[in-house]
Structure 1
């Protein structure tokens, strides 16, 4: 739907990276409906991807009974909807992740509570 302004309308973006303690990263777990949407986490760009798996992710997804069963080496990753392979030894920035990026992961063999998303 197009709109017409009767006078100049400056677009001022209110959610730029400088307004947050760290760049925001959205992280979702496919086939696990206990979490209805990706979590939004402020994570420093210097954080190693592997440290994110060991630190912040258990804090947000750890309540799910399948979380302890995840084989991270078999996890399938998606960045903005496209297949993507992160390097666990590189930082978030080195993996090409920036402010408000969206990543999701799928865990083969784990399909929600008692296989509810099969």
Structure 2
């Protein structure tokens, strides 16, 4: 599955975001409506993106009265995998360098840094 996550295009990710937001099986019509024409994609483009996600095993396709699409990976899992991929690809796995860059580029505010420190003190599970 990790290989498939790396191969998901930005356009395919837009489809996944719609499906994750719904939190229930989604139809093609629901996906198309949720995208709201904001990308300028026609029906065949949306169908192609959905088909690719099914072929990659990231969406499960179920036939009832119409096809329903169900994500096979949770959004949180996807974000975690993509973040690790980014960290290794861009920063060679050096998280300190990433945070340093975020601070120097004003991507991470001092308040957000304090939140990160508090998260670290509590531990991953949020326990004291």
Query: In terms of Rg, which structure is larger?
Result: 2
Larger strand percent: 1
Larger helix percent: 2
Structures share fold, TM-score greater than 0.5: no
TM-score by length of 2: 0.29
More relative contact order in 1 or in 2 (CA 8 Å, sep 6+)?
1
TM-score by length of 1: 0.30
